[in-house]
Structure 1
Amino acid sequence: MPAVAERPEFTPPPEGSLLRSLSFAIVAHLLLVLALSLGVQWKRDDNTLAVEAELWSPTAQEAAPKPVETPPPPPPPPVVEKPVVQPPPTPPVRSDADIALEREQERKAQEKARQEEAERQRKLAAQRKRQDELARQEQAKKDQAKKLAEERKREDQAKAKRQQDEERLAKLHEENLRRIQGLAGATGSPGATGTALRSSGPSDSYAGRIRARVKPNIVFTDDVPGNPMAVVEVRLAPDGTIIGKRVSKSSGVKSWDDAVLRALDRTEVLPRDVDGRVHTPMELVFRPRD
């Protein structure tokens, strides 16, 4: 009992000595080599007897032919499997109910597509309507701003006109006051009906003096029918220098108009009136046969 208690039932047995195991292995190998040697020797002895033994017989006998070993048959060719051609699938036979169902599905799909297209067109129309409304509102704002600008411009113009009228009236009032105050120093004749201190128009002899100054400077050799009249507006400086000229009414003969303008350029300075004044602007009339 004590020995059982010291060695449990399921524990492996204790290992033996290594030398003992090695000895057993060497003996087993030697026995195996000996058995193989005996087998080879026995086979060798048997072959020797078959080659060297001779049999004698009182009658000559011919030996049978040596058996010819037939070669093994060639292996069969590999079997090539032909591809199996599957017949085309036969279309399934549809019943009237399937056809009717398919048509109903197509009709529903077309109806859905029409509804979606109608909804898209409705949204596009609503969007265009909103854009048009915004454009109208923007145009209305521009028109209102333009109207206000025009009204403001008219008001400014009316204000400027009122101011000009007021200035003109004030100036006229001032001139009237000066005229009234200077009536005692007037230089007109007893039968004069004017209100100025002196006459502002040129004297009777002033036109002749200007003609006498300008005519020698006219160079014109063309033969024109009649006696065409050229009217030239002349502007003078306070000393009588010609500072501007233009043909206010053409004679119809350009060469005559140009000759008059060139003559004024040569004249340069026009004489003063008898009272020493210079009248500007004034219109001068020229005819080739005057």
Structure 2
Amino acid sequence: MPAPLPPLHHQPLTPPQPPMRLRAVALAVLVHVGLIGALVVGMNLKRPPEPVMEAELWSALPEQAAPAAPSEPEVAEPPPPPPPPPPPAPAPAPEPEPAPPAPQPPPPAAPPAPEPPPPPPPPPEPDPKLVLEQKKREQEAQRKREQELARKREEEKRLQEQRKQQELEQKRLEDERKKEEERRKEQERKQQEERRKKEQERQKAQAEAKKKAEAEAKKKAEAEAKKKAEAEAQQKAEAEAKKKAAAEAKKKADAEAKKREAQEAEARRQAELRRIQNMAGLAGASGGARATGTAAQSSGPSAGWGNKVKAVVRPNIIYPAAIIGNPEARVEVKMDATGRITSKRLVKSSGNAAWDQAVLRALDKTQVLPKDNGKVITPVTLVFTPHD
């Protein structure tokens, strides 16, 4: 009859055990029980049999024997072993032989040994029912012991499995923690690497920007220096050109002034020569017109020529009204055959520059002077005053 399986306890940390596992556990328990039984039997076989004594009590009247108690039969204690014999006394040292003693009387005879007690009566035959019940009780006790042993082993195995599961769970949690720690460290390492790369890129971009700015600043400075040098060179060239032009203009002006002075000197000389000739050839002959001009010639001007000159020149004279006095400006005028004025020269200033310039501008505007009876008198000195 197979031993009943122990009750299953609820395990909070382990999954339910499959039926095949329970069957294997039961088989292992039975094997272990068999081994333990074999060991017990072997030990009992090696142990020497202990003497067992049984005794029965008989009453005076024949009565039916009471049923034996279910408890195990009492085993009589074996008699104590006899004490060991005392060790022999050591032999005394030899002494000198004394004188032979006197003969002693013989010792008394030993008393006869006591008769041994009669052997005990043979033990009664055991009751087969009692023997069977005793055997059943022993088997039941053995079965309970085996069940308890199997239960303890199963409990120990369950506890070991529980500890193993807990250890596995702890290991799993520790592995997860280590993995999480490694993942966190790897993430931190990646973040640090990314920050390092960004910092390197930023520094590189900053260095490139600085280099570019320095290059642009250098290029700009060179361009400005070149522009400044070109401007300075241009200014220097312009200054030199102006200086050269001014020198040439001054030289030309000086030459023209010298030429003009020479021409004016020659004209004055010729006019003075003609005046002297006229005065010498025509004593007392003169002609003139105040504010419009005066001319002397071999035949003398007509009476109305001065009014004609006044009529064409006077409207072109523009001067400030506030002129103090009546200054006189003398202008020498040269004309071609048509009467067009070819040149003019201020022979004598009136002392008022505004009046002198007004007279010269009026002659420029007039351009052509009227002829005197179809003749042109040139050169001629005209006298102009603000007030006639």
TM-score relative to the length of structure 1: 0.35
TM-score relative to the length of structure 2: 0.27
Structure index of larger Rg: 2
